Every structure is written in C-alpha cells, then in structure tokens.
Structure 1
Amino acid sequence: MKLGNRIKELRESQGLLQRQLSAQLEIDTPMFSKIERGERRAKREQVLKIAELLKVDTQELLTLWLTDQVLEVILNEKQALQALKMAEKDIKNKTK
C-alpha cells in the first residue's frame, strides 16, 4: 500500500488523472485504481514506467514496491521480525 499511496500523491500533485497514466501503462483505469489502492500489485516493469512518467527516482518507487511485497508475505507471521533480521544479516553478508 505504500507504493499506491505514493503514486497517488505524485499523480495528484502533478494534476494527472488515473486514466492518463493507465493509458501510458497500457492497462485499464480500474486496474490502475486498484494499484493505487493497494488491491493489486504492480509489476516491476510497471513501477519503472510509473517512475518515468511521474519523473521520480526509480529507486524510491522500487523500494516501496519491494516493501509492499515483503509486508504481504510476512505481515501476519509471528516470526516476522526475527525473519527480517536474519534476512538482513544474509543480505549484508552477500553484498560484502
């Protein structure tokens, strides 16, 4: 939902309509609306295109997109924080 909120905020601040962006993404407006509301996940390629269209840093939107994906997988798990800490450790070790 973080990604959807940010997309909506950026879109509105630039005076764009959902139908304008959905046309550029080659998806229908209801699907774009679901992405903004967090009811549907955008594809990575769509996130890149949205960043381009809204003239925003790609990394910002990709980070929000990935955060939403991680949250969807672990949100209701009791061991979520422990798992995130372990994953962080593994990521740090692999990027050395």
Structure 2
Amino acid sequence: MKFEKTFGETIKKLREEKQLPLREVAEALKIDTSMLGKIEKNNRKPTKQLIGKFAQFFNVSDKDLLIAFISDTVVYQLMDEEDFASEVLKLAEKKVKYLKTNKSKQ
C-alpha cells in the first residue's frame, strides 16, 4: 500500500478508519496524546522506532510508512525549489546508486 498524503495525514486517516480516538492510539503506542496530535498535524516528526510501532498497530507495511515519512522530508526540502526539483530528484537517485556501489566495495 502506498501512501500519497503526508505522513501525519496518513496516520490520522488510519486512526479514523478504525474509529479510534487519539487517546486510545497514543496509549497503545505508549506516547503522549499531544505528541500524536502533533504528528498527525505534521508538527512533530516520529522516530524510526515509532514509525515501526505505527505500522504494527495499524497492520500496514513499515516500509511503506517509512517511505511516506522520508518522502515528506524530501518534498518539504524541494517545495521552494520547484523550478528544478525534478532535476534534483534525478541526480539524487544517481547519487544513491553511486554511494551504494562504493559502500559495497569497501
């Protein structure tokens, strides 16, 4: 399952689909209710560990949730650079391949 909305909106949608209040989800994840509210509003970034807990709680792929979170980070960085955002993404993809190749040679 791919999540095209922001990470926070995705978490809120998953919670609302299960008709669960913030308090109940926060309690199950052992986090503060206000923290969950801030995550849903994209005002607070979750840790990688918390993303895994969300995935387990909502029974969704932790990889997909992590991709949704990381893509938010990239998008927010590129939003102000609309004129050449696609060029940046293409180069970044090449750099990832380059770095992976060099890392495996070490």
Whether TM exceeds 0.5 here: the answer is: yes
- Are 2:96 and 1:91 equivalent residues in the alignment? yes
Aligned to 2:104: none
Q: Which runs of 5+ in 2 are unaligned?
A: 102-106
Question: 1:34 aligned to 34, 38, 63, which one?
Answer: 38
Shift of 1:2: 1.0
Q: Of 69, 72, 85, which residue of structure 2 is paired with 1:68?
A: 72
Deviation for aligned residue 1:94: 4.9
Q: Report % sequence identity.
A: 33
Equivalent of 1:80, from 70, 85, 88?
85
Q: For the residues of structure 2 that align with 1:24 and 1:79, how far apart are their CA atoms? A: 42
Provide the residue aligned with 1:8 in structure 2.
Answer: 12
3-state DSSP class of the match of 2:80?
coil
Q: CA deviation at 1:24?
A: 2.4
Cα distance in 2 for partners of 1:70, 1:24 equals 29
Q: Distance in 1 between matches of 2:89 and 2:43?
A: 24
Alignment of 1:11-22 (within 5 A): 11-22=15-26
TM-score of the superposed pair, with normalisation by structure 2: 0.77
The TM-score, its normalising length taken from structure 1, stands at: 0.84
